[in-house]
Chain A
């Protein structure tokens, strides 16, 4: 039973355009949502997060939107750069549910930004 779904295995965009990566979840106990970026031969690195008490969090070119009623979040990258090419994972955790020690990852979306 997949609790976190990233339904687009891959996404290709032109440099300078917007990249939108989507994530859906089923577990209503998730209350903190993280995005990780992973380059080949490296471990995932933290990118941006959002708490369930917010619906938007922005950090430079990266913005995450959370729609709790739809159990959906998205990561926007504007403008996209070739160095953003990587696999992006959505990884919620449950702080109030007592299992905030672990992350539950989606399968990831491979983003390719073409020059």
Chain B
């Protein structure tokens, strides 16, 4: 059974650019959540996808968008990057959309915006 994987590990982008981060959920999981962890902060919930549809969203602007594919893998897209978008982006998968207590996290993608 493979765990949650994320790619790339690190990424450097310039302000105004767009970025796509990828996540493969754990085998058997149909729900993916994305979190942003800024330096010195705890992870903040961005949104969750369940069976290819957005199931809930945190306090993030529309330039943060996502997709979930039929194999339950997911992408996080961020448009018009800002310096404050520099953070660790964590993906978590779970077996149910209500399973906040059963989320398994990937190692994250470190995004630096210059």
Contact residues of A with B, CB < 8 Å? 4, 6, 32, 34, 36, 41-46, 49, 89, 91, 93, 95, 99-108
Contact = CB atoms under 8 A, between A and B. Distances in A.
Contacts of B105: 36, 43-45
Contacts of B44: 105
B33 interface: yes
A54 to B, nearest CB: 14
Nearest to B42: A105
The A contact surface, by secondary structure, is loop
A99 B43 contact: no
Contact of A106 (B42, B90, B103): B42
Interface string B75-108: 0000000000000001010000111111111111
B108 A43 contact: yes
Contacts, number: 66
B56 interface: yes
A4 to B, nearest CB: 7
B41 interface: yes
> Interface size bucket, B side?
20 to 34
A102 B33 contact: yes
A37 to B, nearest CB: 11
Contact of B43 (A42, A49, A105): A105
A41 B98 CA distance: 27
Q: Which of A32, A43, A46 has the largest count of B CB atoms less than 10 A from its CB?
A: A43
A48 to B, nearest CB: 11
B40 interface: yes
A38 to B, nearest CB: 8
Nearest to A104: B45
B45 A43 contact: no
12 contacts: A4-B42, A36-B105, A43-B106, A44-B43, A49-B101, A95-B100, A100-B98, A101-B33, A101-B50, A103-B35, A103-B43, A108-B42
